């Protein structure tokens, strides 16, 4: 069971910090997040569909409707932390009282910023000499491992 957490666009995170610094109260605790709930596996699948498969086929655009088996070939599965919860839910109420709003949805921000990182990584052969040393990892297709980053 994959843990689900909220994901936020980088600019929204910084706007949250600025709102807290400018309008927050000393001693109060503010959560910065979003209502866009995704698991790491969801984000990994998005990455494979949009960037890895397109790169493998020499194209900049993703290929249409890959099967779950096709996507899984490019993923490395590791044992989840024993203390992981199913859902990490946070309240944004105090931050919203400082006039902070989620202005960018996760998918929109991912296309904008995540894509830049992956395209640059592919252009620089980021994965070319990558060595894998991940405990408890298994992959459906060992020959495909160089297509994945060690951390995002």
Average predicted confidence (pLDDT) for the chain = 73
- High-pLDDT (> 90) share of the chain, %: 16
The model's pLDDT over 6-53, given as tens digits with 9 standing for 90+, comes to 777 778 888 999 999 999 999 999 999 888 888 888 888 887 777 666
Structure token digits, residue 23: 């309008």
Nearest C-alpha neighbor of 129 from the set 114, 150, 99, 98: 150
Residue 19 pLDDT: 93
Residue 79 pLDDT: 74
Residue 138, strand partner residues = 77
Q: How much is the pTM?
A: 0.60
| Residue keyed to tokens 């996760």 | 106
Average pLDDT over residues 81-97: 78
Count the residues in the chain. 152
Q: Structural domain boundaries of the chain?
A: 4-147
Residue 152 pLDDT: 40
Structure token digits, residue 94: 């105090």
């Amino acid at each position: 069971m994959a843990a689900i957490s909220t994901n936020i666009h980088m600019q929204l995170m910084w706007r949250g910090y600025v709102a807290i610094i400018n309008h927050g109260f000393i001693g109060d605790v503010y959560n910065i997040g979003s209502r866009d709930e995704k698991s790491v596996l969801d984000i990994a699948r998005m990455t494979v569909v949009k960037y890895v498969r397109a790169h493998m086929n020499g194209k900049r655009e993703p290929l249409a409707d890959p099967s779950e088996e096709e996507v899984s070939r490019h993923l490395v599965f590791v044992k989840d932390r024993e203390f992981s919860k199913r859902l990490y839910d946070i309240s944004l109420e105090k931050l919203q009282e400082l006039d902070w709003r989620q202005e960018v949805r996760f998918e929109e921000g991912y296309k904008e910023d995540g894509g830049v990182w992956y395209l640059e990584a592919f252009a620089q052969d980021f994965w070319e000499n990558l060595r894998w040393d991940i405990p408890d990892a298994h992959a459906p297709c060992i020959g495909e491992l160089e297509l994945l980053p060690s951390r995002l």
